[in-house]
Amino acid sequence: MRVTEKDVLHVASLANLELTEGERQAMLRDLNSILDYIDRLNQLDTSNVPPMAQVSDRYGVDHSKQGSERFAYASREDVLHGLRPSLPREEALSNAPDSDGTFFIVPRVIER
């Protein structure tokens, strides 16, 4: 068992999840079983293999250039309204669980 109950609590808190007692026990079992399976990646020596973060690194990129210039194809002019105007406030707030018509309202942030 590599993942302990304490790890589950710690990771749940990082992920902003509460989890019931039953969910924690199930999570402990499932994470350990999945991580055991993932362990087979260690059969491979990857010390000289570069990590691959994105498929799009592999095409469309000008490899003769440095830094962000390599991705010049994806750039655009910096203009005031961007690619489209922002949503009107009313629409932007239309799905809010709580708002006063100007702002999103959330419970008290600072506790005393």
Q: Nearer Cβ to other proteins, position 41 or 66?
A: 41
State the minimum distance, in angstroms, from the CB of residue 47 to other proteins: 9
Q: How far from the centroid of its chain's Cα atoms is residue 102's Cα? A: 28
Tell me which residues touch other proteins (CB under 8 A). 3, 7-8, 10-12, 14-19, 23, 26-27, 30-31, 33-35, 37-42, 44, 46, 49-56, 58-60, 73-74, 76, 83-84, 87, 91-92, 94-98, 104, 106-109, 111
State the minimum distance, in angstroms, from the CB of residue 24 to other proteins: 10
Task: List CB contacts of 2: < 8 A, sequence separation 6 or more.
Answer: 32, 35
Distance of alpha carbon 25 from alpha carbon 100, whole angstroms? 41
